[in-house]
Amino acid sequence: MAAEISLGGGYSIDLDDAQKFIDALQNQLQALQETAMQAGRDISVFPPGNDDYSAAWARAANAMAGQHFTWNRGKQQELIALIDKVTDVVNKYKQTEHDNTMRA
């Protein structure tokens, strides 16, 4: 059995699975980035008519698209922080193991 490494918050992963976990997080990050890029290009709502209700609807729809972008960007930042944290924990563990091996 491989060593477990703590990620904090009560979470831990098997050292052998750490790279798979990092890869999965990076795949999710890439999917969020692609979605944000596509939405930025494709989502722009124009009023369907020339009346006040159509203009209000378009403003509300564009605001929702903006909120999605803000949410998406926040999730990207969370994933980047988690990827960095897991990478740091794995590297520290490996360095400690290396140091302990050198002492033995």
Domain range summary for the chain, segments of one domain joined by + = 75-104
The arithmetic mean of pLDDT across residues 34-56, rounded, is 92
**Residue 27, number of CB atoms within 10 A of its CB:** 11
Task: Say how many CA atoms lie within 13 Å of 5 toward its Cβ.
Answer: 20
Q: Is the pTM of this model over 0.85?
A: no
The arithmetic mean of pLDDT across residues 26-31, rounded, is 98
Give tens-digit pLDDT for 50-95: 999 999 999 999 999 999 999 999 999 999 999 999 999 889 988 8
More confident residue, 32 or 102: 32
- What is the per-residue pLDDT for 1? 54
* Mean predicted lDDT score pLDDT of the chain: 90
